[in-house]
Structure 1
Amino acid sequence: MALDLARLRAETPGIDRVLHFNHAGGSLPPAPVLDAVIAHLQREAVAGPIEAGMAAAPALEEARGEAAGLIGAVAREIAFTGSATHGWGLALAGLSFQAGDRILIGRHEWAGNITTMQRAAARSGAVIEVIPCDEPGRVSPEALATMIDDRVRLVALTWVPANGGLINPAAEIGRVARAAGVPFFLDASQAIGQLPIDVGALGCDVLAAPGRKHLRGPRGTGLLYVRQGFLDRLDPPYHDFRTAAWQPEGGPCLQDSALRFEAGDFPMALRLGLGAAIRYARGIGIDAIRARIDGLARGLRDRLAAIPGVTVHDLGVERAALVSFAVAGVEPAALRQRLAADGINISVNGVMYTPLDMTARGLGDICRAAVSYLHTEAELDRLAEAVTAAARR
């Protein structure tokens, strides 16, 4: 299905002010998202924050339903969080480990997730092991299958790494974990909003994702999926009146849904904005978004690879919106600054974000340009021309 590109660009206030290729860091929000956030803040200003929140509660539950629909879940399996890392960390903290337990992770794991698992392992005596990759650089399901034994307590995967366009075989990894009865945590931070997601087909027990990237939602928002059948295996690290409502008799009772991970005090305006972003993406159609982004990313990789002195670093077979590259003789941070002076946003990714993969590949900092379905071919040309000029200096 073709996208109404003119309408989508017209609904993006920043589209003519900056050439934005940092959608993997944070995207330009569309007008309906801005409207939802601003309208609720205005209601808070005249009615009171608590009263405005009570009035907006049905809209928040509609947003929960939209989030569930986006990933093939049901509403009770969705908690809203402050970020992907926030939700992922809450879920991990709900697991218990003991000495000798094994945690198996992908080489491309997000640094924040690794740090959280390392802390859990240090406290319990568990060990973390890295699943080998196949020749194209993806986490290997076959290698994972050979590593499974009765001491494995978790398989964790970042579906689309932050340092390039590689797409890991999440569903295949999920099948191995499910067959072994091992919990499977999936970080979908770079996947949500650009790839179709069906948690049933993926076989994940937990999925975490932010709102600010390809969904084009507000910063400071995220969603956490916890499979209903897995819920009682997780004990959240803390409780409040929302996660464990007080009963007249018997004291607090832990929520029997993902709400046990959702704190009682939260930024209602931002969550309503996230709901608007999800509705917006679903209205366009994730399959249509995926098809357009794939074509644009391929076109950008081809343009950059044709520039003398430029190396494209993307691995994998099927690839995502993220395009990673380096320019010989130009530091990535310096290139980012040069492009910013021309009104072009890219980002720099380094070892601190995806430490295991960058170290394994002998890479330091790299440049990252992430496309959106909003881009035009002329905008890809403009970025390529700016990189060409930088490479010639």
Structure 2
Amino acid sequence: MPRRTATMLASTLVFIALLCAGVFFKVPYAEMSPGPTVNTLGSADGEPVLQISGRKTYPATGHLNMTTVRVTGADYRMNLFEAMYGWLAHDNVVVPHETLYPDGKTEEESTQENAEEFSQSQESAKVAALRELDIPVKSRVVVATVVKDSPAEGTLHAGDVIRAVDGTPIEKPGDVAEQVVKHKPGEKVVFTIVPADDAAAAEKAGKEPEGTEKVTVTTAKAPDDGRAIVGIAAGTDHTFPFTIDIHLADVGGPSAGLMFSLGIVDKLTPGNLTGGKFVAGTGTIDDSGKVGPIGGIEMKLVGARNAGAEYFLTPEGNCATAASDIPDGLKLVKVGTIDDATSSLEKIRSGETAGLPSCSAG
């Protein structure tokens, strides 16, 4: 066989071997890419995203779009070629698999966690929006979760309203732990509660839960530091003066909170927050209206611009990353609270965009 032919054959075989290795060799990475955006003032799957009853609402035009990120599933394993393509692609990000699915979390577990965070973000968005409009919202401390095989299991239940611990009134979730840790492990703690079923019935009727009972729980020793615990996490529940429903399927996580809250404010006030402009954004929100950072900001910017957004409401904590690669035609607007967001929307609406707080690469 001529030397040139042998060389070409050897090169071809090496190429085929590398090709096979690239296809069959799996790497521990996952991929993030721009997901769809949804206008909180519009409809999804044939029904309005925000539905409000029991209170006067107003027509709202323009866009207040929430943004999403697509990720590969927990069980999907990228091959080497896919990872290399993702690294080279401008609109995609390849990250270690454990970044998206830490501690070996399954896709089912991740989906459940995202659904719970999404539900909580909706609740906080409603509270923040109503408080922004000075509409009173009644709040109460509840049992958020009960740890399996803990002293509280079977005695306290998720949804129980905690009125007092050892006779001390409870005003916020942190008060519960403060009262429990005053005890030594093995001592008894007395909870004054409204049972979850009674609380749920009262909430459905739009009333404040009443009728308490006392429940005694014996504390145990925390495995990490030996403090007294009962095995619950306390949270906050609310009674709203009218009904606000958020209808959006196949979305998870807490990052739509800011845009939901702004959509609610827009529907409950005359005129348009955006002045008809296309505004997108992201950010978690808590009951007080504070906006928090999220993951995948680069992907969300791309998705927003592809959808036609002109302005992007960007959490302060994401500003530096976002400003490092801004899609052409998109203006970043820095926000730290819902107040910041509504003030910036007023500037956008009036055309005074030179005064908008901006993001800078850090």
Normalised-by-shorter TM-score class? under 0.3
Identify the structure with the greater helix proportion. 1
Identify the structure with the greater strand proportion. 2
TM-score, structure 2 normalization: 0.27
Higher-Rg member (1/2): 2
